């Protein structure tokens, strides 16, 4: 190939980056524009910054509750799926279980199913079948944590499996010879070595749970509503609180952006079912 | 050695959770789909209905229309993403300053929640707030209104999806292009092959598996798009962007007609499974040399 | 050990044939190699598709769905045996 000057490429990528970033910037612009200025001529350049929408969101006890729910549900789900996924991977890696490859593939199919199809059956099961007297899992945080396992647990299993497989078997066998219990081997020998992989899985499952909307919108009413569903409550047919909506969006975006900077290179592998190593 | 019982104990939580929230819903929805069940009807109990719900579905105009727009959306969105993604990946192949930085920026949309993507594009395109209708109005006098024009709403959902997911295609194709050996390209250049010839006869066959895998993943994800569209257009205007997931969420779910809703869910699941299976065998299986 | 540690956070390529579970496969008249589960799956897919199309186009003419079911069953038996 001919040696070309790199500047056209830089220019091209500046343009692409602009196209990528501008919509996010626009979200920010709307969020710091007071509502009475919104309907004047849209302007790309910020005249002044008004944090009123943000203070309104933080000052709203309902939205604070939603934020808390989002935080608790996604953290609970991430910890639960990573723990279960780690145990499952250890079992798949170290034990000679019959049909374990079928089990592995079966867990993955759980993630490929379209969530819209499961809205109705999950709703019916949660309201009519999974109930003890008056208590149902509908609109509870623990219910949402368990429901999110359907897509996060398969993800955790297939991202963790190579991690666990990569820990040499000789290490835990040596520990067994020294008389350690199986539980002790997992927690004190295998777990410390798996930490980097576990951290990536924990972070990505956390983001997926945080970002989820559809299931949260149908399976919660008030008590366990998450921030993403709170966002859609501000879009009504009678009129939309644009500034508030933008501010909630920014709040939902921030944790994901922080996470993004940490695990950027693992995102592609995670989103492509591991078919492409990022 | 260790006993297998302990292995099963470790696997048990996963199997139990996925059984109750993955398998049982599937079996249950199939079971309900053969019944009439509306808790607010005169008879609020499940009544066995045979294949009655399915008889009704094949004549359900709204449902069939929704299937049609879904297919159109998936086709145009994925096609655009693959073409743009490939061009961007090619543009990444030569050295220029700030490559890693641009790559990071380009990855950014992938981590954004789908519902936020919807709200971002709603703010970009809503008349009198969005910058896009404003610019189109002042520069070429075109009046973009996604609340009224079906075509505009459809195209904006595609643009939104392209903005959100092209980075995935780009990054996977970069990974594929980087791993190509340089020899065939040098040889072709010595032989005086043109750019197009090199692309068609050397690059494309070599990256075909990666392209196929990417297309497969994108098609599956595009088929289940809901959140973004729900936020951006709500499925409107009319049924122009009422893709199948949106249809279930907005039209089927609120109507407490559980038997019929379950039947629709079953049909959608069936179509998704068949589409994925056909794509998987059709696109990826030819990689396997056939044993005879 | 060091080389293994480098790969610990790389996911498995599930689309890679090397990672697919080994199952007895054979070639029949179908254009792809199949095991018994694949053929059962294909039969069920065809049965559902036929039923839905029958409901739409043929049942209004007065022909019962059972005709479709019988055809589908015969087809399924043929596919599973010869596929």
pLDDT exceeds cutoff 60 at B159: yes
What is the pLDDT, as a whole number, of residue A272?
65
Total count of domains within chain C:
1
What is the pLDDT, as a whole number, of residue C5?
43
| A151-167 confidence digits (pLDDT tens) | 899 889 888 888 888 88
What is the pLDDT, as a whole number, of residue B291?
40
Q: Which CATH class is domain A62-271?
A: mainly alpha
Tell me which chain C residue has its CA closest to the CA of residue A270: C11
Segment among A39-48, A93-102, A175-184, A242-251 with least mean pLDDT: A39-48
- Choose among C5, C9, C14: nearest Cβ to A266: C9
**pTM attached to this predicted model:** 0.85
For chain B, give the secondary structure using H, E and C: CCCHHHHHHHHHHHHHHHHHHHHHHHHHHHHHCCEECCCCCCCCCCEECCCHHHHHHCCCHHHHHHHHHHHHHHHHHHHHHHHHHHHHHHHCCCCCCCHHHHHHHHHHHHHCCHHHHHHHHHHHHCCCCCHHHHHHHHHCCCCCCCCCCHHHHHHHHHHHHHHHHHHHHHHHHHHHHHCCCCHHHHHHHHCCCCHHHHHHHHHHHHHHHHHHHHHHHHHHHHHCCCHHHHHHCCCCCCCCCCCHHHHHHHHHHHHCCHHHHHHHHHHHHHHHHHHHHHHHHHHHHHHCCCCC
What is the percentage of chain A residues whose pLDDT exceeds 90? 18
Segment among A40-54, B160-174, C40-54 with least mean pLDDT: A40-54
What is the pLDDT, as a whole number, of residue B5?
86
What is the percentage of chain B residues whose pLDDT exceeds 90? 19
pLDDT exceeds cutoff 60 at A1: no
Q: Which of A25-34, A40-49, B152-161 is the most confident on average?
A: B152-161
What is the pLDDT, as a whole number, of residue C20?
53
What is the pLDDT, as a whole number, of residue B7?
86
Cβ pair B106:A20 closer than 8 A: yes
What is the pLDDT, as a whole number, of residue B289?
45
pLDDT exceeds cutoff 90 at A80: yes
What is the pLDDT, as a whole number, of residue A235?
74
Q: Which of B39-53, B156-170, B184-198, C30-44 is the most confident on average?
A: B156-170
Distance CA A245, CA A164 (A): 42
- A271 in helix, strand or coil? helix
User: Could you give the domains of chain B?
Assistant: 70-286 (1.10.3720.10)
Q: Does B291 touch chain C (CB under 8 A)?
A: yes
Q: Does residue C65 belong to any structural domain of this protein?
A: yes
What is the pLDDT, as a whole number, of residue B285?
56
pLDDT exceeds cutoff 70 at A237: no
Cβ pair A158:C11 closer than 8 A: yes
Q: Which residue has the higher pLDDT, B99 or A22?
A: A22
Interface A–C counts its CB contacts (< 8 A) at 50
Q: Does residue C9 belong to any structural domain of this protein?
A: no
Question: pLDDT band for position C23 (50/70/90)?
Answer: low
Q: What is the mean pLDDT of chain B?
A: 85
Q: Does A157 touch chain B (CB under 8 A)?
A: yes
Distance CA A215, CA C32 (A): 37
Q: List CB contacts (< 8 A) between B17 and chain A.
A: 84, 146, 149-150, 153
In this prediction, residues B162-185 reach a mean pLDDT of: 87
Question: pLDDT band for position B284 (50/70/90)?
Answer: low
Work out the burial of residue A70: count CB atoms within 10 Å of its CB; fewer than 13 is exposed, 13-18 middle, 19 or more buried: buried
Residues 6+ apart with CB under 8 A from C79: C30, C39, C42, C43, C46
Residues 6+ apart with CB under 8 A from B92: B99, B103, B170, B174, B177
| B243-257 confidence digits (pLDDT tens) | 988 988 888 888 888
Residue ranges, comma separated, of all CATH 1.10.3720.10 domains in chain A are 62-271
- Choose among A114, A150, A267: nearest Cβ to B224: A114
Q: Does residue C3 belong to any structural domain of this protein?
A: no
Closest CA to A271 of B245, C4, B107: B107
- Choose among A21, A129, A272: nearest Cβ to B217: A272
Q: Does residue C4 belong to any structural domain of this protein?
A: no
Q: Which structural domain range is residue C48 located in?
A: 33-83
pLDDT exceeds cutoff 50 at B292: no
What is the pLDDT, as a whole number, of residue B176?
85
Q: Does B195 touch chain C (CB under 8 A)?
A: no
| B7-16 confidence digits (pLDDT tens) | 888 899 999 9
What is the pLDDT, as a whole number, of residue C8?
46
ipTM value, please give it.
0.85
In this prediction, residues A84-97 reach a mean pLDDT of: 90
Q: Does residue C1 belong to any structural domain of this protein?
A: no
Q: Does residue C18 belong to any structural domain of this protein?
A: no
Cβ pair A112:B14 closer than 8 A: no
Segment among A93-97, A99-103, B248-252, C9-13 with least mean pLDDT: C9-13
């Amino acid at each position: 190939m001919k040696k070309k000057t790199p500047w056209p490429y830089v220019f091209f990528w500046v343009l692409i980056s602009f196209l990528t970033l501008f919509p996010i910037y626009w979200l920010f612009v709307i969020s710091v524009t007071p509502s009475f200025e919104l309907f004047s001529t849209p302007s790309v350049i910020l005249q002044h910054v008004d944090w009123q929408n943000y203070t309104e969101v933080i000052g709203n006890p309902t939205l604070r509750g939603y934020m808390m729910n989002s935080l608790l549900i996604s953290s609970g789900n991430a910890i639960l799926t990573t723990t279960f996924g780690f145990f499952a991977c250890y079992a798949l890696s170290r034990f000679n279980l019959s049909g374990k490859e079928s089990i592995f593939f079966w867990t993955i199919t759980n993630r490929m199913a379209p969530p819209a199809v499961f809205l109705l059956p999950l709703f019916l099961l949660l309201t009519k079948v999974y109930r003890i007297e008056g208590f149902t899992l509908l609109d509870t945080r623990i219910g949402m944590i368990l429901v999110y396992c359907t897509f996060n647990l398969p993800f955790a299993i297939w991202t963790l499996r190579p991690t666990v497989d990569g820990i040499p078997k000789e290490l835990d066998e040596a520990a067994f010879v020294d008389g350690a219990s199986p539980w002790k081997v997992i927690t004190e020998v295998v777990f410390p070595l798996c930490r980097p992989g576990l951290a990536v899985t924990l972070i990505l499952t956390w983001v997926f749970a945080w970002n989820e909307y559809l299931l949260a919108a149908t399976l919660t009413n008030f008590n366990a509503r998450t921030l993403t569903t709170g966002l859609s409550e501000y879009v009504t047919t009678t009129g939309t609180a644009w500034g508030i909506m933008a501010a909630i969006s920014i709040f939902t975006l921030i944790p994901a952006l922080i996470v993004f900077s940490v695990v950027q290179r693992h995102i592609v592998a995670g989103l492509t079912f591991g078919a492409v190593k990022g | 050695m260790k006993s297998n019982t302990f292995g099963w104990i470790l696997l048990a939580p996963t199997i139990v959770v996925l059984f109750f929230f993955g398998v049982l819903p599937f079996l249950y929805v199939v079971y309900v789909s053969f019944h009439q069940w509306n808790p607010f009807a005169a008879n609020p109990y499940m009544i066995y209905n045979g294949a009655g719900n399915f008889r009704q579905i094949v004549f359900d105009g709204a449902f069939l229309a929704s299937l049609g727009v879904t297919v159109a959306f998936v086709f145009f969105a994925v096609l655009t993403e693959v073409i743009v993604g490939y061009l961007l990946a090619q543009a990444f192949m030569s050295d220029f300053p700030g490559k890693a930085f641009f790559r990071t920026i380009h990855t950014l949309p992938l981590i954004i929640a789908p519902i936020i993507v919807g709200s971002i594009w709603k703010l970009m395109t809503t008349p009198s707030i969005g910058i896009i209708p404003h610019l189109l109005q002042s520069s070429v006098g075109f009046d973009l209104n996604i609340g009224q024009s079906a075509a505009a709403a459809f195209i904006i959902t595609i643009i939104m999806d392209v903005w959100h997911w092209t980075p995935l295609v780009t990054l996977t194709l970069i990974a594929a292009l980087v791993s190509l050996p340089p020899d065939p390209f040098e040889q072709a250049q010595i032989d005086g092959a043109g750019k197009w010839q090199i692309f068609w006869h050397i690059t494309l066959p070599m990256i075909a598996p990666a392209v196929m895998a990417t297309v497969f993943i994108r098609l599956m994800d595009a088929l289940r798009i809901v959140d973004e569209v729900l936020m951006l257009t709500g499925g409107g205007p009319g049924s122009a962007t009422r893709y199948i997931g949106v249809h279930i969420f907005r039209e089927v779910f609120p109507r407490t007609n559980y038997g019929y809703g379950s039947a629709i869910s079953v049909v959608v699941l069936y179509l998704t499974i068949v589409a994925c299976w056909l794509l998987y065998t059709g696109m990826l299986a030819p990689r396997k040399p056939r044993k005879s | 050990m060091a080389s293994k540690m480098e790969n610990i956070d790389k996911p498995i390529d599930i689309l890679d044939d090397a990672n697919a579970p080994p199952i007895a496969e054979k070639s029949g008249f179908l254009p792809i190699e199949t095991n018994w589960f694949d053929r059962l799956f294909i039969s069920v897919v065809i049965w559902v598709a036929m039923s839905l199309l029958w409901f739409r186009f043929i049942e209004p003419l007065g022909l019962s769905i059972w005709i479709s079911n019988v055809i589908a069953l015969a087809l399924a038996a043929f596919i599973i045996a010869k596929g």
